Amino acid sequence: MSEALTTTVDGRVDDADQLYLLRLGEQVRRLRARHGVTRKILARESGVSERYLAQLEAGRGNVSILLLRQIAQALNASLQDLVAVEAEPPTELAHAIELLRRLPPDALAEACRGLARTYGGDEAERRRRIALIGLKGAGKSTLGRLLAQRLNVPFIELDEAVEAAAGMPLAALFDLYGQAGFRRLERQALERAIAAHPAAVIAVGGGLVSDPATFELLLARCRTVWLKASPAEHMQRVIAQGDMRPMADNDESMADLKRILEARGPLYARADLEVSTSGRSAEEALDDMVNALG
205 is in an annotated binding site: no
Checking if the pLDDT of 5 tops 70, the result is no
Pairwise CA distance, residues 274 & 132, whole Å = 10
Backbone angles phi, psi at 156, to 5 degrees: -125, 120
207 is in an annotated binding site: no
Better-predicted residue by pLDDT, 119 or 208? 208
Checking if the pLDDT of 128 tops 70, the result is yes
The predicted pLDDT at position 8 comes to 43
| Residue closest to 71 by CA, chosen among 100, 44, 92 | 44
136 is in an annotated binding site: no
25 is in an annotated binding site: no
Average of per-residue pLDDT across 174-185: 87
Checking if the pLDDT of 242 tops 70, the result is no
The predicted pLDDT at position 78 comes to 79
Checking if the pLDDT of 156 tops 70, the result is yes
245 is in an annotated binding site: yes
Q: What CATH class is the domain 15-83? A: mainly alpha
pLDDT band at 291 (very low <50, low <70, confident <90, very high): very high
- Supply the mean pLDDT for the chain: 83
Q: What CATH class is the domain 120-293? A: alpha beta
pTM of the model: 0.65
| Residue closest to 254 by CA, chosen among 269, 267, 239 | 239
Better-predicted residue by pLDDT, 282 or 90? 282
pLDDT band at 243 (very low <50, low <70, confident <90, very high): low
Checking if the pLDDT of 164 tops 50, the result is yes
138 is in an annotated binding site: yes
The predicted pLDDT at position 271 comes to 93
Of 45-49, 144-148, 163-167, 215-219, which one has max mean pLDDT?
A: 144-148
134 is in an annotated binding site: no
Checking if the pLDDT of 150 tops 50, the result is yes
* From 102-106, 130-134, 265-269, the region with the lowest mean pLDDT: 102-106
Interval 53-95: pLDDT, tens: 988 888 887 778 888 888 888 888 877 777 776 555 567 876 7
140 is in an annotated binding site: yes
Interval 19-39: pLDDT, tens: 888 888 888 888 888 888 888
Bridge partners of residue 227, in order along the sequence? 275
258 is in an annotated binding site: no
| Per-domain boundaries in the chain | 15-83, 120-293
139 is in an annotated binding site: yes
